[in-house]
Amino acid sequence: MKLDEVRWGFIGCGDVTEKKSGPAFNQVAHSKIVSVMRRNGVLAKDYAQRHGISRWTDDADKLIHDSDVNAVYIATNPDSHCEYVCRAAAAGKAVYVEKPMANSISECDKMLEACNRANVPLFVAYYRRMLPHFIKVKELLESGVIGPSQFFKLELVKANFTAEAELAHSQVPLRSGITAGREMYNLACHQLDLVDYLLGPIAAVSSQSPLFQGDYRTSETLTAVLRLASGLPGLGVWCFSGPQKSQSDIIEIVGTRGRIQCGFTDFRPVKLITAAGEEEFPFELPTCIQQPLIQSIVDDLRGIGQCNSTGVSGARTNRVLEALAGAHPYPIEWG
């Protein structure tokens, strides 16, 4: 698919589209929003008017089959991603879907099959791949400054997951994507996708304390041993019951001559530690945080670049999430 101008229709125009993604679609050259859809027509109209968009609807099929729309951005809850991606693909539209890609790997497989059958591209909103922090980490790794990588570590601590407001969700099935797995699927998915981008696909998972047994949550802390397709080992710990106001996260990659540390939620400076000392690399975030990724998608659709956050890579992250949660067997076979 090659487009001269990418004309977007939004399915879903809630909070994520207000600043993180929505404005960028009109700021990128050769890209424009032509229509938005939300099930609540009043809210769809309000969004369109506030953002200077000429058309709005409460009917997804109307937007999907709008002849002026040639690409669809799906910004709904994960439980509807599969349905909308398949419908947009069947209509011959390029698709960009929010993360996580879907609620299950089986849904991811259906989405990939639908897009392959229709010969349309599928992109996933793992926008950190295009932020300067992580491009710098990639550059440092490829420069060899820390020597050959020996292992990596992941950590995420979220405060007070068991607050009273959350207790009602403690027995929600995994397939809903909104439980202790909610934080894995909605936040830690970025961390796992960055491992895929920086170091390569995760090929095997041994979860020491899976979040689920069957369909239901059994733990708020998960530890795991990971192995990449390259053989590189890693360790991960994710805790969703830490003390108040103490969220922390880290990705650390250790080599024979040094280590690299970065955060994936607080966007702290990238830190390089070698025998020569410590060096930090601070970066400013774009006002619209998804703009660099959206730029790469538009370039891809116009045939002048290539986006590296695709349905294929997004599905790999979903498969790892399911293995960590105890809902999918491992080791993982990518085929």
Report the distance separating Cα 330 and Cα 335, nearest Å.
Answer: 13
Of the ranges 285-289, 291-295, 326-330, which one carries the lowest mean pLDDT score? 326-330
By percentage, how much of the chain surpasses pLDDT 90?
A: 75
**Which residues, at least 6 apart from 276, have a Cβ–Cβ distance to it below 8 Å?**
none
DSSP states along 275-323: TTEEEEE--PPPSSTTHHHHHHHHHHHTTS---S-BHHHHHHHHHHHHH
- Say what the pLDDT of residue 212 is: 55
**Burial of 26 from C-beta contacts in 10 A (0-12 / 13-18 / 19+):** middle
Report the distance separating Cα 95 and Cα 113, nearest Å.
Answer: 13
Task: Average the pLDDT over 7-21 and give the result.
Answer: 96
Task: Average the pLDDT over 69-90 and give the result.
Answer: 97
Crossing angle for the helix pair 105-118 and 311-325, to the nearest 10 degrees: 170
Report the distance separating Cα 223 and Cα 251, nearest Å.
Answer: 15
Beta bridge partners of 259: 254, 273
- Say what the pLDDT of residue 220 is: 74
Which among 320, 317, 319, 298 has a CA at the least distance from the CA of 130?
Answer: 298
**DSSP three-state, residue 46:** helix
For 6, list phi and psi in degrees, rounded to 5. Answer: -95, 115
* Residue with more model confidence, 38 or 184: 38
Note the pTM of the prediction, 2 decimals. 0.90
Cβ atoms of 102 and 81 closer than 8 Å: yes
Other beta carbons within 10 angstroms of residue 231's beta carbon come to 9
Other beta carbons within 10 angstroms of residue 241's beta carbon come to 15
**Which residues, at least 6 apart from 88, have a Cβ–Cβ distance to it below 8 Å?**
11, 64, 72, 74, 95, 120
| Strands 6-11 and 31-37, sheet pairing | parallel
Task: Average the pLDDT over 231-253 and give the result.
Answer: 87
Look at phi and psi of residue 207 and say left if phi exceeds 0, alpha if psi is from -120 to 50, else beta.
beta
By percentage, how much of the chain surpasses pLDDT 70?
A: 86
Instruction: Tell me the per-residue pLDDT of 164-222, one tens digit each, with 9 for 90 and over.
Output: 434 433 333 343 333 456 677 888 899 999 999 999 999 999 876 655 555 545 567 88
